[in-house]
């Protein structure tokens, strides 16, 4: 048990522990403190001012969150560096981190309050595997990767050889370490069948393993049906909410992978997220999508020329989307991005004055096609539109109408030449049953759809739905 983790456990048992005590303990481990500060300054919190002290991070993230995240980071770092025999560390850490995110998402869905403790319990539910691999180095020798990917096979192997499984062994170890009683109980019962209405905390931990196994197996109808049956049996969660939970887990893993992956990788170059969920052909990891939208947002082209045309500033647009998303939680919303693919080429030929006039034409046409309650802004050669209350299929119809207006149109410029504006568009929005979880993912989805449309050519409208990531899995 690492010294810092031991001290953090002591703080966990002290209801009157101070912020200074917590920050002093975390600061004993430079790596832990720097990782925590990096997380507090990440897009997860989107702060204006940089967080430079652990105390400030605790104020921003919350005392309990910082304590529990620090404890899990400390334990993860220590355990990742332990020598193993035949256990596949890639599979182990992938399942542990997937299960941890799954437990937190599931906890939110069933209104379990102790989300960070839930994360920690799910992260450590397979701790017994590491311990058994050290004290019985021959135990997993004959399984290979295929056997270790089947969690049930691991448990059966342990039961046959030892008459108990790694859940019991790991729970006993955590109890010896002095972990919270609820965490110990959840780990001990992580292979138990939980019924609806029983201990919700322990049920979330146990079910998180089913969700982790769904991703590790590469999905498919059978894997999805298995998860769906378990979620319905334990929590009465139906199919559409099951899909939503899987999407949220996938998003959480890609958003938070740096927090734990760096700790684990530093201990042995383990490819923690290398096998999680197949990506669609045009799909990219969330980090790449974020860079895509970031580059779009940094475009600058005649920034001051559209103020009187009903087009908002990008900052006001993004703030409106954020507020609308919060107020209309659960209701359909779509974002469209309409790109003028040849605008820079026309600017080279005819200069800023002509481009200014052409941009006014496009903004006017867009405003004529959308409702007064909708919003639009411009990033360089791309217009972004918020369509409130619109599902993706309805937004696509609106955007197709906009794009079609320009397909056969020609505009006379200063030298008498007639030029075409070559548009394409990407739309992201709610499907029949599922909404995007945040305004950022909605914007990222629209940017990704636009990227796909640009690859297909001019006057193409491409749609992005929230369940795209799981289309190849289910």
Three-state secondary structure readout of the chain: CCHHHHHHHHHHCCCCCCHHHHHHHHCCCHHHHHHHHHHHCCCCCCCCCCCCCHHHHHHHHCHHHHHHHHHHHHHHHHHHCCCCCCCCHHHHHHHHHHHHHHHHHHHHHCCCCCHHHHHHHHHCCCHHHHHHHHHCCCCCCCCHHHHHHCHHHHHHHHHHHHCCCHHHHHHHHHHHHCCCHHHHHHHHCCCCCCCCCCCHHHHHHHHHHHHHHHHHCCCCHHHHHHHHHHHHHHHCCCHHHHHHHHHHHHHHHHHHHHHHHHHHHHCCCCCCCCCCCCCCCCCCCHHHHHHHHHHHHCCCCCCCCCHHHCCECHHHHHHHHHHHHHHCCCCCEEEEEEEECCHHHHHHHHHHHHHHHHHHHHHHHHHHHCCCCCEEEEECCEEEEEEECCCHHHHHHHHHHHHHHHHCCCEECCCCCEECCCEEEEEEECCCCCCCCCHHHHHHHHHHHHHHHHHHCCCCEEEECHHHHHCCCC
Q: What is the pLDDT of residue 270?
A: 45
Pair (84, 161) in one structural domain: yes
- Residue 179 falls within a domain, yes or no? yes
Under 8 Å CB-to-CB from 232, ≥6 apart: which residues? 238, 242
Query: Pick the residue with more confidence: 72 or 207?
Result: 207
Q: What is the pLDDT of residue 430?
A: 86
Q: What is the pLDDT of residue 421?
A: 95
- Residue 71 falls within a domain, yes or no? yes
Average pLDDT over residues 262-283: 46
Query: Pick the residue with more confidence: 44 or 205?
Result: 205
Pair (312, 391) in one structural domain: yes
- Given a cut of 50, is residue 275 above it in pLDDT? no
Neighbour tally for 169: CB within 10 Å:
22
Query: Pick the residue with more confidence: 308 or 93?
Result: 93
Average pLDDT over residues 70-94: 78
Q: Which residues of 199-210 are buried (b: 16+ CB within 10 A; e: fewer)?
A: bbbbbbbbbbbb
Closest listed residue to residue 113, CA positions, set 68, 72, 70: 68
pTM of the model: 0.65
- Mean pLDDT across the chain: 81
pLDDT level of residue 433 (50, 70, 90 thresholds): confident
- Given a cut of 90, is residue 423 above it in pLDDT? yes
Pair (290, 207) in one structural domain: no
pLDDT in tens, 194-226: 876 678 999 999 999 999 998 888 777 788 889
Q: What is the pLDDT of residue 453?
A: 93
Pair (345, 218) in one structural domain: no
Average pLDDT over residues 86-114: 87
- Given a cut of 50, is residue 278 above it in pLDDT? no
- Given a cut of 90, is residue 292 above it in pLDDT? no
pLDDT level of residue 287 (50, 70, 90 thresholds): very low
Q: What is the pLDDT of residue 305?
A: 44
pLDDT level of residue 307 (50, 70, 90 thresholds): very low
pLDDT level of residue 121 (50, 70, 90 thresholds): very high
- Given a cut of 50, is residue 45 above it in pLDDT? yes
pLDDT level of residue 85 (50, 70, 90 thresholds): confident
Pair (204, 57) in one structural domain: yes
Q: What is the pLDDT of residue 337?
A: 95
Pair (262, 290) in one structural domain: no
Average pLDDT over residues 115-142: 89
Most confident of 223-227, 231-235, 259-263, 467-471: 231-235
CATH number at residue 149: 1.10.3210.10
Pairwise CA distance, residues 197 & 29, whole Å: 41
Q: What is the pLDDT of residue 308?
A: 43
Q: What is the pLDDT of residue 280?
A: 34
CA distances to 16, 68, 258 from 26, in Å: 17, 11, 19
Pair (171, 293) in one structural domain: no
The tally of domains found in the chain comes to 2
Query: Pick the residue with more confidence: 399 or 272?
Result: 399
pLDDT level of residue 382 (50, 70, 90 thresholds): very high
For residue 387, the enclosing domain spans: 286-470
- Residue 348 falls within a domain, yes or no? yes
pLDDT level of residue 88 (50, 70, 90 thresholds): confident
- Given a cut of 90, is residue 434 above it in pLDDT? no
Strands 423-429 and 333-340 come out as antiparallel
In this prediction, what percent of the chain has a pLDDT beyond 70? 82
pLDDT in tens, 322-348: 877 776 666 788 999 999 999 989 988
- Residue 277 falls within a domain, yes or no? no
CATH number at residue 302: 3.30.70.270
Q: What is the pLDDT of residue 197?
A: 67
- Residue 31 falls within a domain, yes or no? yes
Pair (101, 161) in one structural domain: yes
Pair (261, 304) in one structural domain: no
Q: What is the pLDDT of residue 304?
A: 47
Pair (116, 258) in one structural domain: yes
Average pLDDT over residues 129-135: 88
């Amino acid at each position: 048990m690492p010294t810092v983790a031991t001290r953090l456990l002591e703080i966990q048992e002290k209801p009157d522990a101070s912020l200074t005590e917590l920050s002093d303990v975390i600061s004993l481990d430079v790596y832990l403190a720097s990782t925590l500060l990096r997380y507090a300054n990440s897009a997860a919190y989107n702060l204006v001012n940089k967080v430079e002290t652990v105390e400030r991070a605790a104020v921003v993230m919350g005392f309990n969150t910082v304590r529990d995240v620090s404890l899990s980071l400390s334990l993860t770092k220590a355990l990742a560096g332990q020598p193993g025999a035949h256990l596949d560390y890639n599979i182990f850490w992938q399942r542990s981190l997937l299960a941890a995110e799954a437990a937190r998402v599931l906890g939110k869905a069933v209104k379990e309050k102790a989300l960070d403790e839930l994360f920690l319990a799910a992260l450590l539910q397979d701790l017994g595997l590491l311990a058994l691999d050290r004290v019985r180095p021959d135990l997993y020798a004959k399984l290979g990767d295929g056997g270790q990917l089947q969690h049930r096979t691991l448990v059966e192997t342990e039961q046959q050889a030892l008459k108990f499984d790694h859940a019991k062994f790991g729970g006993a170890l955590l109890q010896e370490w002095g972990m919270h009683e609820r965490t110990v109980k959840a780990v001990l019962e992580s292979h138990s069948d939980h019924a609806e209405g029983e201990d919700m905390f322990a049920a979330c931990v146990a079910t998180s393993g089913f969700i982790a196994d769904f991703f590790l197996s590469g999905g498919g109808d059978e894997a999805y049906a298995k998860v769906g049956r378990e979620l319905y049996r334990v929590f009465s969660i139906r199919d559409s909410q099951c899909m939503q939970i899987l999407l949220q887990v996938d998003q959480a893993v890609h958003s938070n992978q740096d927090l734990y992956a760096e700790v684990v990788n530093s201990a042995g170059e383990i490819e923690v997220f290398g096998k999680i969920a197949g990506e669609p052909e045009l799909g990219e990891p969330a980090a790449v999508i974020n860079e895509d939208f970031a580059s779009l947002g940094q475009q600058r082209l005649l920034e001051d020329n559209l103020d009187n045309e009903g087009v908002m500033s990008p900052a006001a647009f993004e703030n409106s989307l954020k507020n609308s998303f919060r107020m209309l939680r659960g209701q359909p919303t779509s974002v469209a991005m309409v790109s003028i693919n040849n605008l820079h080429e026309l600017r080279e030929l005819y200069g800023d004055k002509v481009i200014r006039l052409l941009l006014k034409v496009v903004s006017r046409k867009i405003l004529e096609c959308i409702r007064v309650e909708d919003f639009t802004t411009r990033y360089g050669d791309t217009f972004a539109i918020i369509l409130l209350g619109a599902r993706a299929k309805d937004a696509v119809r609106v955007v197709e109408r906009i794009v079609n207006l320009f397909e056969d149109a020609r505009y006379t410029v200063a030298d008498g030449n007639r030029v075409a504006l070559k548009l394409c568009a990407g739309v992201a929005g709610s499907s029949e049953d599922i909404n995007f979880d945040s305004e950022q993912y909605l914007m990222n989805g629209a940017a990704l759809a636009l990227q796909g449309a640009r690859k297909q050519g001019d006057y193409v409208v491409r749609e992005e739905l929230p369940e795209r990531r799981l289309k190849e899995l289910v």
